[in-house]
Amino acid sequence: MKIALITDSFFSYDIDPAAHVGILAEGLGRIGHKAIVLVPEEELREPITEGRAIRFSGKAYPNEAGVQLSRKGMRQMEEKLLAFQPDLIHIHSLSETGAFALHFSQEQQIPALLTVHSIEELKKGGGSLPGAMFWKKRKRLQTAEAILENAVNITCLSHAMTQAVKQLGYRVNQPVFPSAIDTEIFNHSAGDSSLKRSLSQSFSLQGKTTVVCSSQDADSLFPFLEEWSHAFSDADPIRLLIIDHGNQSDELLSMLHTLGLSKRASLTGRLSREEKAACFQLSSCFILCSRSERFQLEAIEAAACGTPILVQAQSGTAQIVDSGKNGFLWDSYRDLFELVKKFSKLTGPGKEALTRLVSGTVRTLTPQNQARAAEALYHTML
């Protein structure tokens, strides 16, 4: 089967949609399908092929990727799609990129599947914005709405996202799409000991119990940090390590200073996937404080490394928690911090046994298994 995966981001694994598409393309290739990834890039005059990915002319856009197809890019992508002749088009965008891909699939009568990763583009409001910004936000909303109204097959990555999209009045008629991680990097037995030592020194983790926290949802992260500042003191042997993707470092540093957390918390900055895996392996637990409907891959990556996951109960990621086996769901900060303290005290054979138990709960979330599940779904649309 020939599958065209169309997205706004691919080369930055800091962005979940990019990681998701990359792993899906890898898995489809491993089980014998021909999958290509088509993605826009700013200031690109001619298409560039790099491995299974093809980059096209793009322009700035206020979405997570920061880019969408330009008119020139649409012409370039159309030419490549006509030459490739896909059996199915899998769309991962609610921008003009996704709108073009959907129009092309309908014009060429090619089955298409839309995966909704986020509903940010569907949020209304902005009446107090300056005229030009208000117009852009309105255009962004209209584009996303048109895609969802016209797509025949729609799926999401979490049950919570499915419900959120339905509550906005749109139809989600396909089951939750499977997720996967790079299990060669994220597993409890991988990891370079010298890399761990280096990271431990860089983030001042020696003699401390490390707790890793995701920074992907600033609206949830900032109140969490305020509560953390009251729950733990400089005397506590616990160091909070915040996985920071670089897009809000200044705000986070300012808040850590204001809350007096400079000696109790560190920002990682941008990490390679190998460095991120090492950080998970150094930690007693992983905290996801986001309440978003989005499914966040970092929780699976942490669990695969054997790190217990503590996930906010209302989040889209809650579905992967096997309570008591790979972590726990939490509703209150009091419950969360009690769990943090318990995991921080676990050492020796007990911690080793827990590591094996936690990693075993996500052992099947491999690129090949994701691709096989995707293949079954694709066949229902052909």
Instruction: For the chain, list the strands marked E by DSSP.
Output: 2-7, 34-42, 48-50, 53-60, 67-69, 88-92, 112-116, 153-156, 209-214, 238-243, 265-267, 283-288, 309-312, 327-330
Q: Given this model, what pLDDT does residue 127 score?
A: 47
- Maximum Cα–Cα distance for the chain, whole Å? 65
pTM, two decimal places: 0.93
**Looking at the domain covering 2-180+366-381, what would its CATH class be?**
alpha beta
Q: Given this model, what pLDDT does residue 184 score?
A: 93
CATH topology of domain 193-360: Rossmann fold (3.40.50)
pLDDT, averaged in runs of 10, over the chain (382 residues): 95 83 97 98 94 95 89 98 98 97 98 95 60 70 95 97 96 96 91 89 90 86 95 93 78 91 90 93 95 95 97 96 96 97 94 96 97 98 94
Domain boundaries, the chain: 2-180+366-381, 193-360
∠372-373-376 over CA atoms, to 5°?
90
- Token couple for 72: 């020139």
